[in-house]
Structure 1
Amino acid sequence: MIRPALFRPFLLCTLACLPLASALAQTPATGQPTSAADAGGCIHPFGLEDNTEYVYQLLDGDGKVSGIIRNRVVSLGSETNKKQTITTNTVLLKSGIYDKKQRLVHSQDLTFRCRQDTSFTDGLSEVNFDNLNRFRDRRLAYAPVPLAWPNQPTVGSELPGGGVTVDVSSSVVEIAKVFTKVQNRRVVSDLSPVVTPAGTFPCYKIESEREMGTLARVDLILRSTSKVVDYYSPNVGIVKTEIYDKKGKIEQTRVLAERNLGGKVTPSTAKEKMKKNE
C-alpha cells in the first residue's frame, strides 16, 4: 500500500498534539526567486497558476517506484480577514494518489494559502489513509492545521507544526481519533540545488518529526514516529521529501517528476520508470 503519510499528507489536547489556534497567518527550474517568493510578496502559494499540474513519484526504500501523486490546480481565490486588513490568496487543488499501475487509490481536495511572506500547505495532505482503512463505513470529521513555509526562512530557525486529526464516529458514539502530527520542524540549510526528474531547483532543507497514531480509548494509543526531510523551493513548493525510520533507514521518497505549467510539460522520466516496474 502507498503511505500517504508522506503527502502532506491536528488536535488532541490530551495528546498534546497541536495548538487549536490557526497557523494561517514559478519560476524557472534554476535562478533566483521572483516576486512570488520575495520577503513581502504573495501572488499565489508557491507561484502556482491556474491549470498547473505537479506529478510526484513515490519511491520505496529500495528506490523503486511504488506510485505517483497528481496535484492539479482547479481554481484561484482570496480571503480577507474581518477587519479587511489582510488578504490571503488561495489555490484549490485536486490531489490523486495512484498505485504503480496508475490506478486511483485515494483522492481529495487540498487548499494551499499564502499571506504576506509565507505560504501554507493543507494539513489534509498529511492524512494517513492506511490508518483510516479500518473505518471505511464510519463517519469521518477532519480537523487540519496547515504547515507554514516562509518565503525566506532563516537557517537554524524553527517552524510551526501542523497536521490533521480525524474524528471517527458512528451515528451514536465516538469510536476513535486518527492523527498525524508534523512537529519539531527546523531549517537546517540554506538554498542549494536539488536535482529531480522535473529539473533542478534551489531548495531549503527542512527536517521534522512525523508522528502518526490512533487513539481508540483514552488509555489506548497506537503510534509511530519517523524523521522527515523536506527540500523546499519558495517558487515551486515541496520538491522532494524523504522519510526515515527510527534506525535512520530511508522508507519512502516523494520527488517532483513533472510540472505541467498551463499546457507546457517539463521533461520527465516518471512514465518510463513506472513502466519498468509494472
Structure 2
Amino acid sequence: MKVLVFLLLIITTITSKGWAQDCLGMTLKAGTSYEMSTFNAKDKPTGKISYQVKDVHKEGSSTVMDITAQFEDEKGKQRTPYVIHYTCTGNELIADLSGMMQSMQATAMKDAEMKLKSNKLVYPGKLSVGQKLSDGQMEAEMVSNGNTMMNMNMVMSNRQVESKAPITTPAGTFDTYKIKSDMSFESRVMGIPIRNSMQVVSYRVDSQIFDIKSETYNKNGKLMGYTLLTKAN
C-alpha cells in the first residue's frame, strides 16, 4: 500500500546548459526546478518531491526533457533519485512514467530487472472544459534469474476536464483546469493478485509541466492525500 500511495503522489514531475526551447507555451531549460509538497487528508505534511530539469534536447521534431526526481519524507529521509522523461511534440505533452517503477525497483527489488511494456500519460497542448483525455497506462514486470517476481499495471481512465478553478499555492495563484480520472492498480507477486481502485482529481494549467494540485480519493470517495506545487523557477 505504501508503494501505491507513493506512486499516486508522485502521479500522484540540455546538452548545453544555456540552451532553452519553447514548446506549448512553456520555456524548457536545464536547471529549471520544481517542488511538490505532499500532505495527508488532515493537511499534515508527509514529504516533498524535488524535480530538476537536467537535460533538454531535440529528437526529431519533438523536445525531450530528462527530469531528476528526489522524494524526501517528513523526517527528511531521501529515497533513491529517479529520472522522468517528458516529450513535447508541439501538440501534446507526454509523460514517461517509467521513473516511478525505477524508484520502486531501487527500494523493493534491487536485484530484479525491470521490463516495461507501456509507460505514458498524455496531456493535450490546450485544455478546455468538457474535453475528454486519452487513457494513461504504466505496465511493467520485475524479473530475477529468469523468473517473473512481480507484475504491475496501473491505468488512468475516464479522464475528463470538468471545470476551471483558481488555485493558490506557495508558488502563486493559477487559473487551473480541474481533471477527474479513475485509476485502477493491480500487482501480482508470485502470481497472487492485489487490486485497488481510486479517483484522482488534478488541477493543471497549459503553461506548467506538473499539476498545480492533485488529490487522491479512495473508492468510497474519501480523501487519502494531496500534493501542491510549492516552488517553481
Aligned partner of 1:227 in structure 2 is: 199
Q: Deviations over 1:212-263 (max 9, x none)?
A: 2212466x4211011000101111131110000122111010100111x2xx
SS in 2 for 1:178: strand
Aligned counterpart for 1:215 among listed residues 153, 166, 188: 188
SS in 2 for 1:90: strand
Aligned counterpart for 1:89 among listed residues 32, 55, 63: 63
Distance 1:242 1:128, change over 3 A: farther
Identity rate, percent: 21
1:5 aligns with 2:8: yes
1:250 aligns with 2:219: no
Task: State whether residues 185 and 196 of structure 2, in contact with CA within 8 Å, keep that contact through their aligned partners in structure 1.
Answer: yes
Q: TM-score, normalised by structure 2?
A: 0.84
SS in 2 for 1:48: strand
1:57 aligns with 2:37: yes
Task: State whether residues 193 and 202 of structure 1, in contact with CA within 8 Å, keep that contact through their aligned partners in structure 2.
Answer: yes
Which ranges of structure 2 fall in alignment gaps of 5 or more residues? 13-20
Q: Deviations over 1:121-161 (max 9, x none)?
A: 22235549669855343222234432111222232221111
Task: State whether residues 244 and 252 of structure 1, in contact with CA within 8 Å, keep that contact through their aligned partners in structure 2.
Answer: yes
1:106 aligns with 2:86: no
Task: State whether residues 82 and 102 of structure 2, in contact with CA within 8 Å, keep that contact through their aligned partners in structure 1.
Answer: no
Q: Provide the aligned C-alpha RMSD in A.
A: 2.5
Aligned partner of 1:43 in structure 2 is: 23
Distance 1:127 1:212, change over 3 A: farther
1:54 counterpart letter in structure 2: Y
Q: Deviations over 1:46-103 (max 9, x none)?
A: 43322110001010111100000001001111111xxxxxx11111100111111222
Question: Which whole-Å CA distance do the structure 2 matches of 1:122 and 1:258 have between them?
Answer: 22
Aligned counterpart for 1:155 among listed residues 119, 123, 129: 129
Task: State whether residues 56 and 66 of structure 2, in contact with CA within 8 Å, keep that contact through their aligned partners in structure 1.
Answer: yes
1:173 aligns with 2:147: yes
For structure 1, which segment, 109-118 or 55-64, has the greater mean C-alpha deviation from structure 2 after superposition? 109-118
1:122 aligns with 2:96: yes
Tell which structure's C-alpha radius of gyration is larger.
1
Aligned partner of 2:15 in structure 1 is: none
Q: TM-score, normalised by structure 1?
A: 0.72
Aligned partner of 1:273 in structure 2 is: none
Aligned counterpart for 2:115 among listed residues 141, 147, 158: 141
Query: Per-residue deviation at 1:172?
Result: 2.5
